[in-house]
Structure 1
């Protein structure tokens, strides 16, 4: 027999933590820091991986060699035999080198932020002393079982080792807690200053090497090999060392390489054509034409766009295991979202006590609160709080033996000294308990069914309260209305996703009536009620069979199969090692709502790549019309009418185009790294917007830019 007092708790729903905004993007300081890396990337062994820029580098080498040899071989001539200034070849060579450097600079800046974060992560990867044990008792004490802790370096730990970690010590490696509960500081990994609780036997058992135990003691089984820890993988990924090109990126590279080969052939045919009309085109001019023809703009920025996309995820504390996962997030068409913690705040709150006919309300409130005194869940605490607000302080009443909740009974309650039994739980379970007493009145069940259906239809969860006494027998007293609170602003976000063609599906273990009401309030497109792990897997396979790409979140071992099956599986950092291994992304903040942000970042990556590809192609088309008429008007007078910019001379036209070609890369670096501003639009509207802004802009910009540069170049003597 014992006397319990009502625990204190707050009934206010927790505030939704907003996603952190990405840090300020890449300014002049970041550009300067990236310059050494840009020069290192001039190594041909690195450059050949980017075929477009490799062609530019080869052209720069050849043009430089010609510029050195010119004093001994004579100066170049433009088409039609007109001489061009001796400084022309050197100008072309310098700006070709700058074109390559600017391309390398874009990639180097993108990698720079990842390397900065990798350096901070390395500080957490210090070698620490680990207390390795072979056995331990139920209290987590290795000495009581006869085992003596073996002090070893964390670098010597391997898969399956068991270690004891006490308060104040660093966790020596990634693992799962097999005994104990502790408060842990994960700020070195997640950046979040508030400590978190990790415990054995649940979905919050995983710990990461380098985090610090603040209280108590835990026994951890190591789940990683040396050099393969979570932090090691993070370092490799954020540095870009482990970043593999995505299929779309590879396909675009193949297209750009094919276009470059075609334009190499086109350029090589120009000199024979010019020779047929008694004109010559010098090698530097042909190289300049080739560089202006091939898609250098997107070729220079393509890698940086991919790296920056992964970096944006890192800034949101999400680790993508591959670039493919980021890209897949942008193509997602179906989003699976858990109700609890994602769509709702996760802690159902008692909102009202509904008494049945003939029952005193104070009796119902007191019984509900007494049956909840030993209930540690937020729902149980909220029932006690609501009773206190209504003036019923159950801490003043003596209670008897606590009856804990079990999955078999689906009820909890107390047995009082006078023989009175109080139960609270699921409707069917409580009704079955009441009907065991032959004295129970059946007439009240109709009223109960009406109240249960009303609460369920409104999106709430009904908990039935009943009492059984020696004098009166079993009676159903009423219903506690537990209400799920839908997070603010989610309906608007789901509407945005719908506008992009993304279908949202809420997954919940609730009954269909409750699920339907919450789905309607949240604004999701569909729901899966009373869902089991098998149901989740079946739903994902069904969606994929229909041609959809599916994204979902999870944190438990039972979520691992579905996470592995989904195209984008986001595992919570607080979850089990199995979940983190199965997913292709890990959210360090363990915020399920971040899945919506991940999709937006993936969309932004694809939109940015598409926008700059459109600009690059349009940009190249405009350069043809700017340069070729000016170059060949002397040989083919009819082309003069196409020289709408009235460029000063063939030499100034070529040099101006090469300068513009280089400058536009450096101008577009911030856009490639920050990403095109994301707007929730359908694919057709995104395409129309890209064509209007980046297509038309890509055509107009070269005409303006080349003309302005030509005005400056024409002031140079000889041009």
Structure 2
């Protein structure tokens, strides 16, 4: 809890890249305002021949009305409200940069295991080959997997326990990333993993069990093969079911015009079967853990902004490489530390929430910047007494009040983000800027009339 609080505080104090635009505008705006104020004084006092008091009043009013407080508040107020609202909705946004990146994303890449699926695979099939019986296959496989950190290892170990199949002593254990494991049992070397391990590393032919493997893979199951150095001994199929909200989340993302990809180390058939169930057409299969980041790079090379959603240690490089890394709250600490956004409640629909909230927050920032500049555009001419001939001038004290009201309008506009609700239109937030623009324009005109009356 303390870590979440710390991250939210840091996020609320951070700057979005768009803040650089506000800073750039301010750095150029202030000298221009000082120049306009000086010109106002010179024109009124030297060229038109007004009194020193009148000219100084105009000079002071221009400087006061043009104070860029509202511009400085435009970004941080929206980020503070947006990140706070995200936390309420179960979306932990770590700062302004990921918040801004989320609204620019065009492609979302989902890891399969533990992200699209529940991450709790179960053994569905065990088959011996030749003279090897199923119990022997499971005994050796579970013994090897007991030393593995792969997500599927737990399913095999649990199945062996349920079937009361005792493990064997394993020596010289070795994990082969992206392929499987190897180890010695009773001085005999065994291999257990995918078809790449058996074909490419062990060098055995799978022709006699190919039909059985294909059938299982087409059903969306992950097939792991057990072999010695000389022969294939058996196979184990494991299946992981989709999360209840996966199909809905994918459908909604596609509806918003985003391209959805699935990335997995599974073979092409298994990956296609799972992707079809999820409603995903773009599949990156048979990707080794260390190559996930490279696949993200390939997508980025097309000139598109990419978000990666994952939960495991092997997803961390891809999360870091992506323009936006989104980590599942149920995942590893490494993934959560790497991701710019963390989905606390482990609900994929909150990926939508993060994107929608990002778009609404960025919209507010742009509206705030418009308001800040809009007030100056209509306020400076009145303060410079350009419209004095029609009875519109602005005294410094009322210019100060108008400037304060511009800051209030920006803060009030940002606070409308508190009405954000996932998958709902925030109609008040949509129409409020137009109402505020009209109201504050009329206020400026009224302040000008009041100033004229005070002069009289």
TM-score tier by shorter-chain length is: 0.5 to 0.7
The match for 2:404 among 662, 672, 682 is: 662
Q: Does 1:292 align with 2:65?
A: yes
Contact kept, 8 Å, 2:41 with 2:58, in 1: the verdict is no
Q: Does 1:493 align with 2:213?
A: no
TM-score (norm 2): 0.67
Q: CA RMSD in A?
A: 5.7
Distance in 2 (alpha carbons) for counterparts of 1:545 and 1:309: 31
Contact kept, 8 Å, 2:264 with 2:271, in 1: the verdict is yes
Distance in 2 (alpha carbons) for counterparts of 1:680 and 1:291: 41
What is the aligned partner in structure 1 of residue 265 from structure 2? 509
What is the aligned partner in structure 2 of residue 702 from structure 1? 440
Residue deviations 1:187-236 (CA, integer Å, cap 9, x gap): 55458xxxxxxxxxxxxxxxxxxxxxxxxxxxxxxxxxxxxxxx8xx699
Instruction: Tell me how many residue pairs correspond in the alignment.
Output: 428
Higher relative contact order structure (alpha carbons within 8 Å, sequence separation ≥ 6)? 2
Which entry has the higher C-alpha Rg, 1 or 2? Answer: 1
Residue deviations 1:425-479 (CA, integer Å, cap 9, x gap): 75788999xxx9xxxxx9x94xx6445324323433246799xxxxxxx9999x8
Distance in 2 (alpha carbons) for counterparts of 1:429 and 1:300: 58
- CA shift in 2, pair 1:490/1:325, >3 Å: same
The match for 1:484 among 229, 232, 240 is: 240
Distance in 2 (alpha carbons) for counterparts of 1:380 and 1:311: 42
The match for 2:111 among 327, 338, 346 is: 338
Distance in 1 (alpha carbons) for counterparts of 2:321 and 2:405: 45
Distance in 1 (alpha carbons) for counterparts of 2:119 and 2:323: 26
Structure 1 residue 596: deviation in Å?
Answer: 6.0
Greater helix fraction, Structure 1 or Structure 2? 2
What is the aligned partner in structure 2 of residue 13 from structure 1? none
- CA shift in 2, pair 1:608/1:451, >3 Å: farther
What is the aligned partner in structure 1 of residue 23 from structure 2? 253
What is the aligned partner in structure 1 of residue 216 from structure 2? 455
- CA shift in 2, pair 1:402/1:690, >3 Å: same
What is the aligned partner in structure 2 of residue 108 from structure 1? none
Distance in 2 (alpha carbons) for counterparts of 1:188 and 1:293: 41
**1:501-540 matches, cutoff 5 A:** 502-524=258-280, 526-540=282-296
Structure 1 residue 621: deviation in Å?
Answer: 4.2
Contact kept, 8 Å, 1:331 with 1:602, in 2: the verdict is no
Residue deviations 1:298-357 (CA, integer Å, cap 9, x gap): 33333333455565667657473x64454344434443332111111111234x55999x
Contact kept, 8 Å, 1:190 with 1:588, in 2: the verdict is no
Structure 1 residue 514: deviation in Å?
Answer: 1.5
Q: Does 1:543 align with 2:317?
A: no
Distance in 2 (alpha carbons) for counterparts of 1:498 and 1:334: 10
Q: Does 1:237 align with 2:10?
A: yes
What is the aligned partner in structure 2 of residue 301 from structure 1? 74
Residue deviations 1:140-171 (CA, integer Å, cap 9, x gap): xxxxxxxxxxxxxxxxxxxxxxxxxxxxxxxx
Structure 1 residue 508: deviation in Å?
Answer: 0.8
Contact kept, 8 Å, 1:313 with 1:319, in 2: the verdict is yes
Contact kept, 8 Å, 1:367 with 1:465, in 2: the verdict is no
Distance in 2 (alpha carbons) for counterparts of 1:678 and 1:314: 12
Q: Does 1:672 align with 2:417?
A: no
Runs of 5+ unmatched residues, structure 2: 147-152, 186-190
Contact kept, 8 Å, 2:22 with 2:72, in 1: the verdict is no
Contact kept, 8 Å, 2:307 with 2:323, in 1: the verdict is yes
Structure 1 residue 568: deviation in Å?
Answer: 3.8
